[in-house]
Chain A
Amino acid sequence: MLAVVAAHFVLALCLPALARYNRRLAFGAGAALLTATLVWAMSQAPAALDTGVTDVLAWAPDLGLSLSLRLDALALAMIVLVSGVGALIMVYAAWYFGPRSTDAARSAALLVTFAGVMLGLVLADDLLTLYVFWELTSLTSFLLVGQGGQYRENRRAAVQALLVTVFGGLAMLLGIVLLGELAGTYSIPAITAAANDGTLAAGRPVALTIALVLILLGALTKSAQVPFHPWLPYAMAAPTPISAYLHAASMVKAGVVLVARLGPAFSAYAVWWGPVVVLGLVTMLLGGWRALRQTDLKRLLAFGTVSQLGFLMVLFGAGSRVAALAGIAMLLAHGLFKAPLFMVVGAIDKACGTRDLRELCGLGRRRRGLAVLATLAAMSMAGLPPMLGFVGKEAAYEAFLLEGGVRGALILTGLVAGSLLTAAYTARFLWGAFSTKGTQPTGGDPVPLGLSGPAWLCALTGLGAGIAAPLVNTLAESYAGPLPVLGDPYAAQYTLALWHGVGLALLLSAVAVVGGLLLFRYGGTATGHGKVPGLSAQRGYEAVVTGLERTAIVVTGRLQIGSLPVYLACILVVLIVLPGPVLAVAGSLPAQQSLYHSFMQVPVGLMVCVAAIALCRARRRFTAVLLVGAVGYGIGGLFIIDGAPDLALAQFLVETLTLVVFVFVLRRLPAHFAEPDSERRVRTPKALVAAIGGVLVATMAVVLSGARVLPPATTDGFVANAPEAGATNLISAILVDFRALDTIGEITVLLICAAGTASLVLATRYDKRKGGATVTSGADSAEREQEVAG
Chain B
Amino acid sequence: MRNLPLLFLFSFLFVACSPAAEPVTEADTATKTSPRIVSLSGTLTELLFALGQGDALVGVDVTSTYPAATAELPKLGHVSKLNVEALLGLQPDLIFVDAAVTNNPALKTLADAGVRVVYVPLRPTLDNAVQATATLAGHLDLPEASIATVKANLQRDSLALAAALQGANTRPRVLFLYARGAGQVLVAGTGTEAEAIIQLAGGTNAIQSFADFKPLTPEAFVEAAPDVILMFSSGLASLDGPAGLANIPGIAQTPAFQRKRIVAMDGQYLLGFGPRAAQAAAELAGQLHLPDPQ
Do the two chains belong together in a single complex?
no
Query: Which residues of A are interface residues toward B (Cβ below 8 A)?
Result: none
